[in-house]
Amino acid sequence: QVTAKTAFLFILPQYNVSVPTADGELVQYHYGLKDLVTILFYIFIAIILHAVVQEYALDKINRRLHLSKVKHSKFNESGQLVAFHLTSVIWCLYVVVTEGYISNPRSLWENYPHVYLPYQVKFFYLCQLAYWLHALPELYFQKVRKEEIPRQLRCIALYLLHIAGAYLLNLTRLGLILLLLQYLAEFFFHMARLVYFTDENNEKLFNVWAVVFVVTRLFTLTLYILVIGFGLPRVESQALDPERGNFFSFLFNNILFRMSVLLLVCLFQASVMWRFIHFQLRRWREYWNEQSSRKRAAAASTRQQTKLLKRDSGYHENGVVKAENGTSPRTKKLKSP
């Protein structure tokens, strides 16, 4: 029994409480220091799953494609993230639908703070934290190039900041919707990169990603404005109460603070869109340069073939076909003796 209790500490979420409802009691969860033990266990699970995907899927495809070292590294990164984002999108969509967060948008801020979480919501957040923490040792295991490490560290840090912030500040419902939108756009991007590495002439999926990216950015900005600008200021409990998990809703009564937060959010989204537009312009410029170079090469090849055909078939001089040495290609008739 002692071993079982210790195993449950690693495997199952902790801090379960019985919350009275109209239909009886409902078991829900809140967070605490024991969550670190559970996260540690699932970090090892994520490392194992990472190795399985690499060994039985990505390495086999890499051996067939014969990619360069740079493309090999990017292919492995996108392959791992495609598997993770697809799983997370399906899982997150299932959670938000079954919990009613999409059908009832008011639930994103009603009854804030959302201290008590359903089992599937807490388990989802623990697994998300475990995955992005496991990505740190994977930088060493995958032998990532030094110039790629700062970019990947920034990406990992932003995801951890978002997920841990939503989890600790009791904004898990809003965090789930934002993660769903972000993972959906990232899935199409990394899927487009995989297709591009297999066939460099196929860039159609990048266009699909561009549309999905713009749509998800608009939804993300709308959600921020809806929740921060209109939802949280109407919460009944506006007093600072860390024991109940109410950390900052009282600040949103101050219109100056609320507008400052919205301004920061808009500036951040604008910077993301600027990088996206810059990336698209660079990609289109490279595409058109490649197309024009191909046309010039095709035209030069056509001219070269025309010259070769003329040289092989002779040329005309005063209406008579002449060969290369100036003699007529016709056979001369021999006079009879």
In this structure, what token pair is assigned to residue 106?
């008011």
pLDDT digits (tens, 9 = 90+) for 51-81: 999 999 998 888 888 888 888 888 999 999 9
- pLDDT > 70? residue 237: no
Whether the full predicted model's pTM is greater than 0.85, yes or no, is: no
pLDDT mean across residues, the chain: 83
Alpha carbon of 181 to those of 130, 142, 178, 315: distances in Å? 20, 28, 5, 68
pLDDT score of 331 more than 60: no
pLDDT digits (tens, 9 = 90+) for 149-208: 999 999 999 999 999 999 988 889 999 999 999 999 999 999 999 998 888 777 788 889
Instruction: Give the three-class secondary structure for 14.
Output: coil
Beta-carbon neighbour count of residue 220 at 10 Å?
19
The runs of H, that is alpha helices, within the chain are 2-11, 35-53, 59-65, 69-98, 119-141, 149-168, 172-198, 204-224, 255-313
Q: Residues 10-32: pLDDT tens digits?
A: 888 888 888 777 777 888 998 98
pLDDT digits (tens, 9 = 90+) for 70-129: 888 889 999 999 999 999 999 999 999 999 998 888 888 888 878 889 999 999 999 999
